[in-house]
Amino acid sequence: MTFLPHGKHLIAGTWVGSETQFTSDPANGAAHRFAVGTPQDVNTACDAAAKAFWSYSASTRQERAAFLEAIADEIEARAEAITAIGTEETGLPKARLEGERGRTTGQLRLFAKHILEGDFLDRRHDAALPDRAPLPRPDLKMVQRPVGPVAVFGASNFPLAFSTAGGDTASALAAGCPVVVKGHPAHPGTGEIVAEAILAAITRCNIAPGVFSLIQSNAHDVGESLVTHPSITAVGFTGSLAGGRALFDLCAARPRPIPFFGELGSVNPMFLLPEALKARGDAIAKGWAGSLTMGAGQFCTNPGLAIVIDSPEAQAFCDAAAAALGSVEPQTMLTGGIAKAYQAGCDRISGTKGVQALLTSGNEPREASPHLFRTTGVQWLADPSLGEEVFGPLGLIIVVRDESEMAEVAMALEGQLTCTLHLEDSDTPLARRLMPVLEQKAGRILANGFPTGVEVCDSMVHGGPYPASTNFGATSVGTLAIRRFLRPVCYQDMPTDLLPQDIV
């Protein structure tokens, strides 16, 4: 199946062009022209979403599940074309795109299954107690209900699983909320073909066309118009700290503030406890190198920090990590801008007082090579900039003096998506000392593993305290993600004929 982008927005079932266009910047292959959205496009899409909400929110769970399954089917029907345009635009290898497509359809099917089971509704019932003294109790029923139209921002590093039909869109649609997606300019063709798949599913399932729109743009005004539109009731975002914080502030400043579920950044520290370092420091170093460089380090769970206690084994770990990273070839990054930012981050770390370079190399335009640095616990604690994310395959080893300084580093961490403990049984006392701190710092805590690779399942948490995300009680991966787009409603003494069908 050959796919040639037409470069239009999908707004409530209609493909809409624009006089103003931008040109894509693919890693390889031909560039294409795409329409630049306007605030009027946003108004049209959001008004249609608001209108569609009344019928879509009242649809049955069976109808919504069939819709999610249909979207997955339509994506799979375009599998080869999606992989082709995705590899051209992003430079990601074919196997990565195929795996990500499977994850995307898997998420859609997982939410279809989840809503059919009904547990997400959290139904509660307190029967009336008419004879209770001193006052009777009314009949009270509670159920989760959809919040309204949701804005979703496509992510640069996941053109499928965190973009047009990714986890935010899947969970919002599952909840009964229409979605307006602001496509990411790094992969507009991929976004367009996935939007075609969603439109086909809308037609197949006879869903109101306003339930989904995709607006393309390489400018900020579309995003600003989207999060401030009065019909939008919640926002899902994956991206930079600066961009996410700006949108978060806009959401909070609205006359009617709305929740902004942003996943913004994380350095995902690993704590290598002494006995684990002695027993398998070399293996941990090699595993870290693989995790750190996977996908050119362009994962939000990329483990950028390793904390070790000063010892001969710590030096051996530094040497082994440098050797393992030194054998990794340069990799293509998602965009020229990301590659430029990575180089700037490498230069910033390299130029920081008290930081020793263990492995450096030049980065060609749109390519990234691994960089490895070492510093002390004292220096890291004194310089907060060393705790900031560098998006790419850069590792920083923090060599601390003792267990107390390791705990001090843990206490000083900002919010993280993940924290990892590498430990042996004899490391348990130190691990117990760290665990209460790490529970306050991260949404996911690993033992003897590496955080790249986020399983899509019921128990996964992909979120954490700020700045990892803007809402520490939410996750953007796993079935709990649906709760972001629901709110509890209590019905008191309500006639059965007026209750939502899911509560009866």
Distances (CA, A) of 268 to 271, 360, 450: 10, 21, 10
Q: In sequence order, what are the residues at sequence separation of 6 or more whose Cβ sits closer than 8 angstroms to the Cβ of residue 1?
A: 78, 80, 81
Task: Give the three-state DSSP class for 493.
Answer: coil
Distance between CA atoms of 158 and 164, rounded to whole angstroms?
A: 10
Torsion of CA 436, 441, 446, 447, to 10 degrees: -40
The widest CA-to-CA distance across the chain, in whole angstroms, is 80
Radius of gyration of the chain (CA): 24
Task: Give the three-state DSSP class for 420.
Answer: strand
E-strand stretches of 31-182: 33-35, 124-126, 140-146, 150-153, 179-182
Distance between CA atoms of 366 and 145, rounded to whole angstroms?
A: 45
Q: CA 232, 237, 240 angle in degrees (round to 5)?
A: 135
Q: In sequence order, what are the residues at sequence separation of 6 or more whose Cβ sits closer than 8 angstroms to the Cβ of residue 432?
A: none
Q: Contact at 8 Å (CB) between 166 and 135? A: no
Q: Contact at 8 Å (CB) between 170 and 111? A: yes
Choose the catalytic residue: 89, 100, 263, 405.
Answer: 263
Choose the catalytic residue: 177, 251, 300, 346.
Answer: 300
Q: Contact at 8 Å (CB) between 41 and 48? A: no
Nearest to 7 by CA among 225, 214, 237: 214
Is residue 263 annotated as part of the catalytic site, yes or no? yes
Task: Give the three-state DSSP class for 386.
Answer: helix
Task: Give the three-state DSSP class for 260.
Answer: strand
- Residue 414 corresponds to which amino acid? E
Is residue 490 annotated as part of the catalytic site, yes or no? no
Per-residue buried b or exposed e for 13-49, using 16+ beta carbons within 10 Å of the residue's own CB:
bebbebeeebebebbeeeebebbbbbeebbebbbbbb
Give the ranges where 234-376 is alpha helix by DSSP (H). Answer: 241-253, 274-293, 312-326, 336-350
Which residues belong to the active site?
A: 263, 300
